[in-house]
Amino acid sequence: MKKPGPTESASALIDEKIKQLGDWRGKTLAKVRAIIHQADPEILEEWKWRGTPVWSHGGIVCTGETYKQAVKMTFAKGAALPDPSGLFNSSLEGNVRRAIDIHEGDHLNKTALKDLIRAAVALNLKRKSKSNLRSPRSAKKSATSSE
């Protein structure tokens, strides 16, 4: 897959990737994508790192990588997310990321996955709002507004 040009959108490239896979991995990636959009209709689709679908809202939420034996959803800040349903089954030793490997025939717990996606978005937005509060511009602004 190539990098998006001026007339190509990340969404179109993801569509093409799903079509090119043409097997259970394409169907699984399409299902995951639909669940992501159901969980957060405002999520942005991006195309990074030589052909990796990325979903972002206030920062990277997750990626959708495809391998011969699995479709992998890697959550950028997965180690900080609650996972009461135990969806994370890969990259468990990492300090920041966590992943879900989906193999052919695996059942997706859509409700738990939507909850995980929403928690990732909430964490991104929370961290983003905290960083805005700490930025020099906002500190300067609040210092001048109290005069």
From first to last of the 147 residues of the chain, give the pLDDT tens digit: 455 444 469 999 999 999 999 999 999 999 999 999 999 999 999 999 889 999 999 999 999 999 999 999 999 999 999 999 999 999 999 899 999 999 999 999 999 999 999 999 999 999 877 766 655 554 444 444 443
Pair 109, 73: CB distance under 8 Å = no
In angstroms, the CA 57 to CA 96 distance is 18
pLDDT at 134: 55
Q: What does the pLDDT read at residue 84?
A: 95
- At a CB cut-off of 8 Å and minimum separation 6, what does 57 contact? 40, 42, 43, 44, 121, 124, 125
Q: Which fold has domain 10-129?
A: Aspartate Aminotransferase, domain 1 (3.90.1150)
